[in-house]
Each structure stands twice: as C-alpha cells, then as structure tokens.
Structure 1
Amino acid sequence: MLILQALFFPPEQPGGVSSMVPYVLEKFNKRGWEMELFSLPKRVRGKGTDEIKFETFDYHKYEGNLLVDKYIQTYKDYIWWTRMRVTKKYDLIHAHHPIAALAMKHLFPDTPVIMTIHSSYERELFLNGKITASSQEHDFLTSIYGELEANLDQLLTVSNSFKNYLADYVQDAERIGVIPNGFDEKRFRPMPHENAIPQLITVCRLVPAKGLDTLLLACAELKKRGQNFVLHIIGDGPMRLELEQMAVELDIYEETIFYGYMLHPEEFMPFFDIFVLPSQAEAFGSVFAEAALCLLALVGTNVGGIAEQIEHGRNGLLVPPGDALALSVSLEKLIADPAFRYEMARAASEKARKTYGLSRVIRQLRSVYEKYDHDKQEAL
C-alpha cells in the first residue's frame, strides 16, 4: 500500500503537525509500509490558474476579500505544484491541511483522501483580533469544513473538544474520528537538575490567543507576594514588543527572558521546572505533551485539548482563561512546594508516555489505513 502524507508547507518547525508527521512516516517505512511526504514550497506564489469550484457553497460572493482571495490563490498554487510534482498513483492520500486535502481530491478523485484537521484558522484569527465571528472571512473559512465533509473519504481530528467545535459546521460530526497527536519519546530526555530559583517556561507564538498578557500579570502578582522565579518565553510574533514593554511596566522585566524563535525547544526544556501556557483555545496543545515528556509540571487553561491532557490536581493544574489571579495561585502552589511540583511532573510524564506516545498513533492510523486497503481488495 503506497500512501502520500500531504502537508501544507514543509515541516521546518517542531510542534504539532510538523513535529509528528515526519516521525510517523519514518516509523511506517521502518515497518515495511510505503509512505512519502509532500508539501508546497513557500516560494511558490501566484502560479496556479485552475478554475475553482466548491460543491457546497459559492465562494465567488467573497471575491475581493483579501484573505479569501489569498486562500483561493494558494489553493490554485497547491493544485499547480501537485500536478507538476506528483506523478505516482497512490493507494491513499492523508492530508493535514484543508487546501492540501481539497487539491488532492480535485486532482485524484478516484483515490481515497482522508484528512486530519489539526486546528482552526478562523478561530485563531478571531482570538487574535483579526476577524469577527460575523465577518466574510469567518463565514468562508467555516464553510470549508462542509466542503471537506462532502468531498473527502474520512475526516479525523486531534481532540474530542475540537470534534465538538466542528459539529457546528458539518452535517454528521459523529463520522469524524479522533486521533490525538503523538510524539517520539526518544526526542525527549528529562535531565536531573536542581534550580535554586524555580524556572518557568512557555513556548508559543507571541499572539493574543496564547494569553501571555495574563501570564505576565500573574507573574507580577507572584513577585508582589515575594515568590522568586524566572520566566523564560520562547517564541516570536507580533506581540513581542508589546509584551516586553508590559514586562517593564509590571516590574518583572528582570525576571523575564525573551528568547525569540527556537528550532528545537524540547532540547532546552528539560532544564526547567514548570511549563505554563494560558491559551484562550487549543485544538490539542502539542507543547503540553512535549513539556510533560520533558518532566515539567504543567499549568494550562481549562479549554480544548489542554483540558483533555491535564486532569486538574492529578497531573497538572487548570485555570480559567484570562484569570491572572487564579493563574498566579496555581503557579505559587508549584513554586512553593517542590514535592508537589515533582509529583505533578511525574504524573504528567506517565500519562504523556502512555497516551501520546508515537506507537499509539501508529496503531490507530494503521487501522484507518488498512480499512482502505481492505476496501480496495474487496473491489478487485
């Protein structure tokens, strides 16, 4: 069985899809499966000219909207690049982005195409203040879910929470399968260490949806209470200057280190004590599983896939999104009690290894892939 894993852009960054799919491909290939990786180079722009038509809605009513026009052109570019580069006939195509999925089905209508929906672009734009819930952009992007359902052979997603989110935009949400992300445990090497001052770390894009303003407010409250800590922020984005200025104004700049983008934060993470990320929403939240595999105590918000990873008080702590006081209280519990901190970290690591190990993903995906191999054999 020859399978194509179709990404959007090349897997250049760790985390989520980019972190998982190449490892999945490697594991399957080692077990005798034939699997290849495909993506659209970032340099390809404005090449596609195919006429686009959706089955479930007319996108032309959105023409002239900059975001929609860019999305449609990228779809055309993906078709153009795929037509040039994909010359084999695959038994199954597994896509990891709506554009990749629709382009593949457009070009290979007789090939089964399944897709894992890893996140929601419209929700990210909404939470980051770029669009409103009643905007043309939101209507267009949420209409894509119905188009995927109508055209693809199988939809998968990464958490039950995100499946429930998708239910508002598809006809039959029960047909959506759930396979949480998985991680190659060999990448993560917890290091024994003794930090005299507790080290907090967060890894994310610096955008409003990640709630870093709430984190800085919580850290300012910790300092007022006399708690010692250092906060390490790994990542870059449009909010960096604003967050740095906020740290100055809150008098925690000396306790806060902004690193910018880092290619492999999992190599750096094991030397810290507490991972914290107060996101407003996460379809899965891969970085929590990665931090758990590095033996860090976890603090997150009670939203989406985070709440499916963390059982409050058993393998981490959950707080409401946007609640800086509750976040400071949870952080203080872990800072002030090293034994409790270690117990949370150990429990988080055990759950991550059991639930989010790559071998589990391989088993679940194999059962999905074999269904299409079986269907093909029956048709012969």
Structure 2
Amino acid sequence: MKIVHVVYNMEMGGAEMLVAQLCRMQRGNGHQVEVCAYDKLGALGAVLREEGFTVHVLGEAPVPRTMLRYLKLFRRLRPDVVHCHNPAPTLQAAMGARLAGVECVLATRHSLVSPPYDRAGEIKFSTWSWLWLDWVAGICEVTCENLRAAPLARREKVVRVYNGTSAINRVPVERVADEFRLLFVGRLAKIKDLGTLIRAVALAAERVPRLRLDVVGDGPVRGELEALARELGAAERIRFHGQQMETARFFSGADVFAMSSVSEGLPMSLLQAMSLGLPAVLTDVGGMREVMDLSRSGLLAPVGDAAALAEAIVRLADDEALRAEFSRRAVATYQAEFTLERMDAEYMRLYRTVGNRA
C-alpha cells in the first residue's frame, strides 16, 4: 500500500512526532510511505529524510495554488491513501486527493477546538473538507465530541483512534540523593500554561525542599517563563533544557510527569511517560482527564489553580506507595490502549474500509 501523510510542517511537536513514528511503523510493515509538508521541512522532516523517507515540501502559497499543487502531486504519486493531519492540511489537500482518484482519504484532528471558538474555521473544516473525506479521526473521545458538535458536521464519519507511541526505554541516569524530580515535555506556548506549573513548584517547594522541575522543549514564551521562575525565587529548581531530539534520559530521571495546559487533546509526552511508569500531575482538561479515568495513574487539578497543583505534587512526593501503584497502573493502561502498534492497526483498518463518502 502507498501512503502519503500530509502535514503543515515537520517541526518538533506531538502530532509531528506521531506522524514520524507512524511512518516508521508502516514502512516496517512493508508499505511505501511518503510525507508532504506545506510550510517547511522542520527538524523531524530532516531526520526522516536521513532515514530514507521522501519528504515533499510545497512551500507557502495562496490556498488555490496550494490546492492545485496537491492535486498535481497526488496525480503523479498515485497513492492508495492520503492521511491528512489537522485542519489546515486537510483543507488544502483533501479535495486534490479525491480528484486525483485516491482510494482512501482521511484526516486526524490532533487537538481540541482551542478557545476562542472559531465558528467560521470549524464550518470550513466540517463542511468543505469533510465532503472529500472517508473518515475524520479524533485522538480521544473529547476531540470526537468536538468534531461531532461542529456546525453541519457529518457525524457518521467521525471515529476515535487513540494516539499511540513507542515505549520509552529506561536509560541509566545519575540522581542527586533525596531529589524529587518533575518533568514537563512539550512546546512552550501560552496554551500549555506552564506558568501555573512553575508557580505550583514554588509553592510545593516549601514542603518538598528537594523538589526540581525539568522543562524539555522550546517555544515563544520561554523567556517569560524563565523570568517568572527568577521572580518567584525558583530559578535554581527549574531547568530549561530547550528542544531535545532524544528525551529518554529526562523521562528516566523523573519521578512524576506534569502538565498544566488550559486546552489539550491527548499529549504524546503523557503517553511516553506512562510507558515508563511515571505517575502524573495534570490539569483537568480534554483528553488528559480521559486518560486518568482509564488509568487512575495520576492526580488532576483545576485549570490555572497553582495551589491545587502544588497540593497534588506534595501528595505524590510524600506517598511512595501511591506513586508505586500509579506507576503500575500507568504501564498497564499504556500497554492496553496507547501503543504504537494498536494505533497503527486501527488506522490500517480505516485505510481498508472505505464507504463513508458524501
């Protein structure tokens, strides 16, 4: 089977990491896999090229020209499947794929509808784009609910495919005695609200003196976050590591995984943490609650509530038995629900099951 994944770019991000892992697994299973990026190659795109994948880069252009470029590309490549990831690539590529005679065209929505609600944008996605699609996959049930609730949505096309990821392999890491280490992995953007986590760390440190936070990732608000850590007197406890291609040593050195997002689908970094048995402290939002309801492997706090997040951190720091139970549950749920193999099998079933066209 020839499969083309269509993305905005292949910079470091959860959706892009998922696409890269899916490409590797599908090629390993004997399929011919290529990637097409609209904006630019990106760090992950460069890695895929080094691994022998063909990664096309269209380059920015007005929408009509971009749609024509996709049509020409698909007529030349003649794929069996075009798999679009997120709204913009779907709007740009889905019609061209269908007009080029592609047998199966589907899209994955990798996030929730972020506030504020963009009614016009969601109407374009759920009416124009969906005309050309066989399936629209949501990465968790909350994302599927968002998709079904969009104006004029074709609800029968919506299916849930939980994100999956390769397991993190534990590596040897030197630890300072008595340290309690939190880990955040993700893009440093406003929607992640990492400021709330930093405030929580400053509060919790009064009762957990050896508390530390490792922040792995980069983004537009990094300077603000570093300034906040200094302002709160927590700079020595919080280390910003920037973007990292290899993250196993950070997961291996952590005691708890933490996220304080205000909107979230099903973050890949959370699933990676679960694969290694890390308990979680999370905000009660989106797919993160769904994962915690399934696994019972962490604690939830209200969005923006640094004091509640700090209490959750302290509770886990003080209760080794609870951490051990959460760790066991995390691994079991990852293996049952969130492996890369399970996700790939579900997508392959959709690729082969065509019948929901307009």
TM range (shorter): 0.7 to 0.9
Query: Using the alignment, how far apart are the partners of 2:188 and 2:27 within structure 1?
Result: 36
Which letter maps to 2:5? Q
Query: Using the alignment, how far apart are the partners of 2:64 and 2:233 within structure 1?
Result: 47
SS at match of 2:136: strand
Kept in 2: contact 1:5–1:95 (CA 8 A): yes
Cα offset, 1:219, TM superposition: 1.4
Match of 1:327 in 2: 309
Cα offset, 1:227, TM superposition: 3.8
Correspondence 1:33-182 to 2 at 5 A: 33-40=31-38, 42=40, 48=61, 73=62, 76-77=65-66, 79-80=68-69, 83=72, 87-108=76-97, 109=99, 110-111=101-102, 112-120=104-112, 123=114, 126=115, 132-133=116-117, 138-146=118-126, 147-169=128-150, 170-182=152-164
Query: Using the alignment, how far apart are the partners of 2:220 and 2:154 within structure 1?
Result: 37
Judge which range, 34-43 or 341-350, deviates more: 34-43
The structure having more radius of gyration, on CA atoms, is 1
SS at match of 1:263: coil
1:323-374 per-residue CA deviation (whole Å, 9 max, x = no partner) reads: 11111111001111223222212221221122111111122112111213xx
> With structure 1 as the length reference, what TM-score do the two structures score?
0.79
Aligned residues: 334
1:101-132 per-residue CA deviation (whole Å, 9 max, x = no partner) reads: 33333323232311111125x61xx4xxxxx5
1:195-238 per-residue CA deviation (whole Å, 9 max, x = no partner) reads: 52101111122222112121122112112335430111122222
SS at match of 2:309: helix
* Counterpart selection for 1:258 from 240, 250, 254: 240
Q: 1:31 to 1:219 in 2, by over 3 A?
A: closer
Match of 2:48 in 1: none
Query: Using the alignment, how far apart are the partners of 2:225 and 2:214 within structure 1?
Result: 13
Kept in 1: contact 2:178–2:210 (CA 8 A): no
Q: 1:346 to 1:46 in 2, by over 3 A?
A: closer
> With structure 2 as the length reference, what TM-score do the two structures score?
0.83
Query: Using the alignment, how far apart are the partners of 2:7 and 2:75 within structure 1?
Result: 13
Q: After the TM superposition, which parts of structure 1 deviate over 4 Å for at least 4 consecutive aligned residues?
A: 43-47, 190-195
Match of 1:63 in 2: none
SS at match of 1:214: helix
Match of 1:7 in 2: 7
Q: 1:291 to 1:77 in 2, by over 3 A?
A: same
Which letter maps to 2:21? Y
Question: Structure 1: any 5+ residue segments left out of the alignment?
Answer: 49-72, 127-131, 376-380
Q: 1:349 to 1:46 in 2, by over 3 A?
A: closer
SS at match of 2:257: strand
Percent identity of equivalent pairs: 26
Query: Using the alignment, how far apart are the partners of 2:89 and 2:222 within structure 1?
Result: 31
